């Protein structure tokens, strides 16, 4: 597996201006037949204390995991104290006791000019607001790390204030180490946090257990981590834990149908699908065969996905191994026969 913590930035353009917007693609993934297939781009906002090089490295790592081009919106760092003060202001801009406007933004319309004025204290917030309102970006997934979530939540609330609930309804937001508490209604939020990430604690106790959590970073003796690259390194575990109930390496229940459908919805990103099945095989061996059967069921209903799987021998062999070990049910035998026929 690629060590994302050692990822170089190559010739990628490093931003220097707060709110700068650039596109990034990890070079090697463009060689894959599954890159950007079907065509897609995603949006990324970095956290505090990130240099332009840090921003590029994070965007490239995300491009590698998601196998697509990343639209990076740069959150400029001005040093720890200045960044921290900005975070506090960001956190209180729309929902704190000293909010810019006292009326609930999601329940009444406001002008674009007023929204921009409310966001203007942070140039990156203005850039995110403008980018998310572009027609071509309205359906794109958004990824935000650390302070980037405060910026994103404010921008989305401003969009809801200007356009009404339809402006944010159905937008898919992926948060990592988020300190943000308030989000507009209607978004689809997928939250990720290391159990000992102190920044994620600022969002409050996860009493509904909606955050996908991982206890320890990969190959690290220090549980107190907040790095976006560490989040990307254990992407398969975070994804599985989104559908899992349990802790301390014990799984009490796993939504096998939901996980299999999620993997099928990744379409041509079979490298990521394979990494998830490798994780299941190592850590959830009693569940991997059931997920594999259900995943193959989705493949059989999607000719374009079957065509891609036909060219990925490694994933097919892994699925067959998962279903062929131990007791093999009739459904597993049928799925294995299908895979061998591809």
pLDDT at 101: 45
Helices in the chain by DSSP H: which ranges? 52-66, 80-92, 112-119, 123-132, 147-163, 198-201, 228-233, 235-241, 256-265, 270-283, 285-301, 303-310, 313-324, 330-341
The DSSP string of 260-281 is HHHHHHTTT-HHHHHHHHHHHH
Q: What is the mean pLDDT of residues 116-135?
A: 94
- pLDDT bin (cut points 50, 70, 90) of residue 37 is low
Q: What is the mean pLDDT of residues 209-216?
A: 78
Give the domain ranges of the chain: 1-233, 235-342
pLDDT at 186: 93
pLDDT over 50 (residue 97): no
- pLDDT bin (cut points 50, 70, 90) of residue 218 is low
pLDDT over 60 (residue 107): no
- pLDDT bin (cut points 50, 70, 90) of residue 1 is low
DSSP β-bridge partners for residue 23: 71
**Is residue 122 classed as helix, strand or coil in its secondary structure?**
coil
- Strand 244-247 with 211-214, pairing: unpaired
Structural contact between residues 225 and 246, judged by C-beta atoms closer than 8 angstroms: no
How is domain 1-233 classified at the CATH fold level?
Answer: Rossmann fold (3.40.50)
Degrees to nearest 5, angle at CA 39 with 34 and 41: 110
Q: Please write the tens of the pLDDT for every residue from 241-281.
A: 999 887 666 677 889 999 999 999 998 899 999 999 999 99
Q: Which residues of 37-67 are buried (b: 16+ CB within 10 A; e: fewer)?
A: beebbbbbbbbbbbebebbbbbbbbbbbbbb
Structural contact between residues 42 and 62, judged by C-beta atoms closer than 8 angstroms: yes
pTM of the model: 0.88
- How far is residue 70's CA from residue 24's CA, in Å, rounded to a whole number? 5
The DSSP string of 210-222 is -EEEESS-TT-S-
Q: What is the mean pLDDT of residues 181-193?
A: 92
The better pLDDT of the pair 105, 115 is held by: 115
Cα-trace Rg, the chain: 21
Structural contact between residues 151 and 125, judged by C-beta atoms closer than 8 angstroms: yes
pLDDT at 105: 46
């Amino acid at each position: 597996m690629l060590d994302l913590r050692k990822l170089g930035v190559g010739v990628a353009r490093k931003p220097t201006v707060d709110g700068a917007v650039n596109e990034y693609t990890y070079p090697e993934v463009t060689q894959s037949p599954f890159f950007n297939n079907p065509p897609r781009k995603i949006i990324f906002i970095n956290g505090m204390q990130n240099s332009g090089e840090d921003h590029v490295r994070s965007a490239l790592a995300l491009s590698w995991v998601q196998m697509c081009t990343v639209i990076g919106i740069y959150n400029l760092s001005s040093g720890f104290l200045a960044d921290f003060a900005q975070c506090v202001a960001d956190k209180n801009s729309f929902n704190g006791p000293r909010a810019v406007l006292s009326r609930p933004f999601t329940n009444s319309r406001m002008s674009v000019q007023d929204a921009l004025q409310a966001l203007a204290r942070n140039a990156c917030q203005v850039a995110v607001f403008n980018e998310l309102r572009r027609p071509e970006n309205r359906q794109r997934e958004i990824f935000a790390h650390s302070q980037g979530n405060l910026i994103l939540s404010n921008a989305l609330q401003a969009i809801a204030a200007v356009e009404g609930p339809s402006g944010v309804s159905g937008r898919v937001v992926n948060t990592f180490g988020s300190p943000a508490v308030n989000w507009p209604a209607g978004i689809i939020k997928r939250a990720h946090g290391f159990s000992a990430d102190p920044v994620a604690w600022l969002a409050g106790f996860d009493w509904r257990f909606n955050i996908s959590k991982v206890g320890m970073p990969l190959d690290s003796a220090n549980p107190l981590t907040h790095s976006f690259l560490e989040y990307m390194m254990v992407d398969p575990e975070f994804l599985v834990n989104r559908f899992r109930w349990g802790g301390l390496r014990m799984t009490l229940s796993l939504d096998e149908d939901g996980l299999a459908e999620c993997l099928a919805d990744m379409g041509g990103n079979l490298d990521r699908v394979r990494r998830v099945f490798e994780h299941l095989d190592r850590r959830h061996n009693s569940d991997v065969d059931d997920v594999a059967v259900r995943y193959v069921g989705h493949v059989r209903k999607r000719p374009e996905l079957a065509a891609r799987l036909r060219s990925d021998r490694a994933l097919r062999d892994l699925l067959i191994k998962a279903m062929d070990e131990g007791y093999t049910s009739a459904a597993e035998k049928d799925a294995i026969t299908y895979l061998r026929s591809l």
